Amino acid sequence: MQTRETTELEQSAFEYLNDLRDSGITNMFGARPYLMEDLDLDKNTAGKLLSTWMKVFNPDGNYEYIDANIEAIK
């Protein structure tokens, strides 16, 4: 599998989502509003980041490299 480095935004969002998941505050399918508010993202970007995080989820939080077939979100 080819990999690529995550963008700064992806890295930040994925770490945030792992922390949100660990907190148990919300079901992760309802995480988009949290991303929008806490990371000041628009609905579309937050949705793309959440979808990507779900595809590459790593409980260890290592998101330095992800599948190269996934479009980068900047």
Summarised one tens digit per residue, pLDDT across range 15-72 is: 999 999 999 999 999 999 999 999 999 999 999 999 999 999 998 899 999 999 999 9
Q: Give pLDDT, residue 20.
A: 97
Assign 1 a pLDDT band (cuts: 50, 70, 90). confident
Q: What pLDDT is attached to residue 24?
A: 96
On the 0-12 / 13-18 / 19+ scale of CB atoms within 10 A, 60 is exposed
Provide the token pair at 9. 């935004």
The domain ranges of the chain are 3-60
Angle at 23 between CA 22 and CA 29, to 5 degrees: 75
- Global pTM exceeds 0.85: yes
User: What per-residue confidence (pLDDT) applies to 29?
Assistant: 96
